[in-house]
Amino acid sequence: MTDTPAKPVLLTGASGALGRMLAKALTGEGWTLRMTDIAPFPDPVPAGATFAKADLNDGVAILRLAEGCGAIIHLGGVAVERPFEEILGPNIRGLYHVYEAARREGARVIFASSNHAIGFHERTETIGADAQLLPDGYYGLSKAYGELMGRMYWFKHGVESVFVRIGSAFPEPKDARMLATWLSYADLERLMVRCVVTPEVGCCVVWGASANGRMTWWRDDARAQLGWAPQDSADPFARQLGDKVSGDPIQERYMGGLFCGIGYSRPAPAPAQLFE
116 binding ligand 15L? (CB under 6 A): yes
With respect to ligand 15L, which residue has the nearer C-beta, 5 or 146? 146
Interface residue with ligand 15L, options 52, 80, 152, 245 (CB under 6 A): 80
The CA distance from 69 to 66, in Å, is 5
181 binding ligand 15L? (CB under 6 A): yes
Check 138, 139, 145, 254 and give the catalytic one.
139
Binding segment for ligand 15L (CB under 6 A), chosen from 58-66, 84-92, 110-118, 120-128, is 110-118
- CB of residue 59 vs ligand 15L: minimum separation in angstroms? 24
SS3 of residue 33 by DSSP: strand
Q: How far does Cα 150 stand from its chain's mean position?
A: 13
For residue 151, the number of C-alpha atoms closer than 13 Å in the C-beta half-sphere is: 10
With respect to ligand 15L, which residue has the nearer C-beta, 159 or 192? 192
- Strand-pair partners of 35: 11, 51
99 tagged catalytic:
no
Interface residue with ligand 15L, options 14, 23, 33, 79 (CB under 6 A): 79
- Which residues fall within 8 angstroms of residue 69, CB to CB, at 6 or more apart? 7, 8, 9, 10, 34, 105, 107
Query: Would you call 235 exposed, middle or buried from its count of C-beta atoms within 10 A (0-12, 13-18, 19+)?
Result: middle
210 binding ligand 15L? (CB under 6 A): no
What does the per-residue mask of binding to ligand 15L show for 217-256, with x meaning CB under 6 A? ----------------------------------------
The CA distance from 155 to 32, in Å, is 29
Residues interacting with ligand 15L, by CB under 6 A?
79-80, 114-116, 166, 168, 181
Active site residues: 139
